[in-house]
Amino acid sequence: MSQPISMARADAQAGWPASIFDPAGPYAGSVTTLSWILIAMSTAVLALVIFAFWAALFGNDRLKKRLGGTRAIWIGGVAFPVVVLTMLLIYGLTLTRNLTTPVPEEAMRVRVTGEMWWWRVAYLDPDGQPYMLDANELHIPVGRPVVLELESSDVIHSFWVPQLSGKLDMVPGRRNIMPIQADRPGVFGGQCAEFCGGAHALMGFVVVAHEPAAFDRLMAQRRAPRPQQAAEGGAALFREKGCAACHRIAGTQANGAAGPDLSHVAARRTLGAGILPNNQGTLMGWIGDSQSIKPGNRMPAYKMLSAQELQQLADYLGQQR
């Protein structure tokens, strides 16, 4: 039995969800506060109930008398929960409303589309048209809300980056809107949270938050026209071996849309949707036999490529930043 993702090691943690107790923005932060309140409340109620059990079984007669009647049931089983739950409900619904308040029109918009088992990322201009494509990684500026348009092109997925927000499903035929915001620079992992078949477990995601200036520089650099690249070595292999049928690289003739866009693949922190560190070795391994790393993924294994060809391809892709 082959051991999947055998190459993965602890340094490939970028594409994996982190604790909700370490929020990085307002949308997640208010839920973390709520979580602590709920945990404290539940602990208190549990302690009360356990005390009541203890008193009913081992307490003195006075305690037993208090507990042993319908009055105790009305107080403990009806009045107490109704009061507590009403307060909670008001708090919860207020918070729900705040979290779903529409963000300003001019906010940056990105369409994230769930695919089996990776994420298609399209940065949208004010008209809603994609101007830059990427996959499995999202760059956002710190301190500004970003609106995600969540869609699916096959089955139901769910977008979840715990440090930035709760999760929201990607349902085929529908578009769900989710605001996120990071208040500090950093790399925040996420993962698909709705079972989506085969390799659902290996469908990670990365959000990178930059200081605004750095973010603008990054975007400018990515949008700058690319120098013509020599059509030899890796570039030639990319075209000849069929890679271009599924993958796009901006500024070249490679224009496939079935698989992840590779225009900025070298800049990504991970490979295979969050599961491998991104370096020449993992890139070669992925191209040569991605099926043993992520069983069932849509990319065939290219076992016929020689080590030298793999290296040339990896070098070529290593230039796509």
- Antiparallel, parallel or unpaired: β 108-115 and 146-152: parallel
Q: Applying CB under 8 A, which of residues 181, 191, 263, 290 lies at the interface with other proteins?
A: 191
Q: Which of residues 167-186 bind other proteins (CB under 8 A)?
A: 167-169, 171-174, 176-177
Under rule CB under 8 A, residue 304 binds other proteins: no
How far apart are alpha carbons 218 and 211 in whole angstroms?
A: 11
Q: Shortest approach of other proteins to residue 200 CB, angstroms?
A: 6
Residue nearer to other proteins on the CB measure, 109 or 248: 109
Separation of CA 88 from chain center: 29
Under rule CB under 8 A, residue 301 binds other proteins: no
Candidate segments 152-160, 238-246, 257-265, 313-321, binder of other proteins by CB under 8 A: 152-160
Q: Applying CB under 8 A, which of residues 140, 275, 305, 317 lies at the interface with other proteins?
A: 275
Q: Shortest approach of other proteins to residue 74 CB, angstroms?
A: 8
What does the per-residue mask of binding to other proteins show for 43-82, with x meaning CB under 8 A?
A: --xx--xx-xx-xxx-x---xxxxxxxx-xxx-xxx-xxx
Q: Shortest approach of other proteins to residue 186 CB, angstroms?
A: 15
Closest CA to 12 of 166, 174, 145, 204: 204
How far apart are alpha carbons 203 and 119 in whole angstroms?
A: 8
Task: Name the token pair of 30.
Answer: 């208010």
Count of residues of this chain found to bind other proteins when the rule CB under 8 A is applied: 97
Under rule CB under 8 A, residue 40 binds other proteins: no
Residue nearer to other proteins on the CB measure, 191 or 263: 191
What does the per-residue mask of binding to other proteins show for 84-113, with x meaning CB under 8 A?
A: -x--xx-xxx-xxx-xx-------------
Q: Shortest approach of other proteins to residue 196 CB, angstroms?
A: 6
Helices and strands (H and E) in the chain: how many? 9, 12
Exposed, middle or buried: residue 310 (CB in 10 Å: 0-12, 13-18, 19+)? buried
Q: Which residues contact 78 (CB under 8 A, 6 or more apart)?
A: none
Residues 189, 274 contacting (CB under 8 angstroms) = yes
Q: Which of residues 200-259 bind other proteins (CB under 8 A)?
A: 200-202
Under rule CB under 8 A, residue 187 binds other proteins: no
Q: Applying CB under 8 A, which of residues 147, 148, 182, 199 lies at the interface with other proteins?
A: 199
Q: Which residues contact 272 (CB under 8 A, 6 or more apart)?
A: 5, 202, 286, 290, 293, 294, 297
How far apart are alpha carbons 74 and 78 in whole angstroms?
A: 5
CA atoms within a 13 Å half-sphere pointing along the CA-CB vector of 12: 19
Residue nearer to other proteins on the CB measure, 78 or 257: 78
Candidate segments 165-173, 213-221, 246-254, 283-291, binder of other proteins by CB under 8 A: 165-173
Q: Which of residues 13-32 bind other proteins (CB under 8 A)?
A: 13, 16-21, 28, 30-31
Separation of CA 83 from chain center: 37
Under rule CB under 8 A, residue 8 binds other proteins: yes
Question: What angle is formed at CA 93 by the lines to CA 82 and CA 25, rounded to 5 degrees?
Answer: 130
Q: Shortest approach of other proteins to residue 25 CB, angstroms?
A: 13
Q: Applying CB under 8 A, which of residues 24, 140, 142, 193 lies at the interface with other proteins?
A: 193
Closest CA to 228 of 135, 319, 131, 122: 319
